A = this chain, B = another copy of it.
Amino acid sequence: MRYFEDIRVGDADDIGQHTFAAEEIKSFAQRFDPQPFHVDEAAAARSHFGALCASGWHTAAVWMRLMVDHSRRAIEAQRARGEPVAAFGPALGFRDLKWLKPVYVGDTIAYRSEVVETRASTSRPGSGLLTIRSTGTNQNGDLVISFVSTTLIERRPEKT
């Protein structure tokens, strides 16, 4: 992670992508969202979705996983280059979480995050507030999930 001062509005990262298989869609939904169109192909075919599709919470949880992995890779790369790694997180909140299209079996969702706002924290002088819009887009270019989150990130220490 870069320091707050090195991050600009418009900076964007490809976080990773994931193809949703029927078994994991049903497994997540059986545990957390057992609505017919998430757990049963035949019932899903009769629903307004027309086919089995992933719980929205599943598509959000997959983003979280890809983001953790992406952050780790970024940190490892910084360490390998001998660069300092800024402390960050956790997220202070999420807003405008929207599920815009269903995620069907076999869909590959590419997740991307873009910096939409940066501002210094008034209550924590050593931190900045980083606001990102995260999106997931399917293989047809349709936006399927979008949300905005704000995270604390370390400011560059002053030289002494």
Interface residues of A (CB under 8 A from B): 31-35, 55-57, 60-62, 64-65, 68, 90-99
Contacts and interface: CB of A to CB of B under 8 A. Distances in A.
22 contacts: A31-B61, A31-B65, A32-B62, A32-B65, A33-B64, A33-B65, A34-B65, A35-B68, A55-B64, A56-B91, A57-B57, A57-B60, A61-B61, A91-B99, A93-B97, A93-B98, A94-B94, A94-B98, A95-B95, A95-B96, A95-B97, A97-B97
B99 A96 contact: no
A113 to B, nearest CB: 16
A59 to B, nearest CB: 11
A94 B93 contact: no
Nearest to A62: B32
A58 to B, nearest CB: 8
A56 B93 CA distance: 10
Contacts of A94: 94, 97-98
A100 to B, nearest CB: 9
A33 B95 contact: no
Contact of A64 (B57, B64, B95, B97): B57
Nearest to A24: B31
A151 to B, nearest CB: 12
In the complex, the 8 A-B pairs of residues with the closest C-beta atoms, listed nearest first:
A32-B61, A94-B97, A93-B98, A32-B65, A57-B61, A33-B64, A95-B95, A57-B64
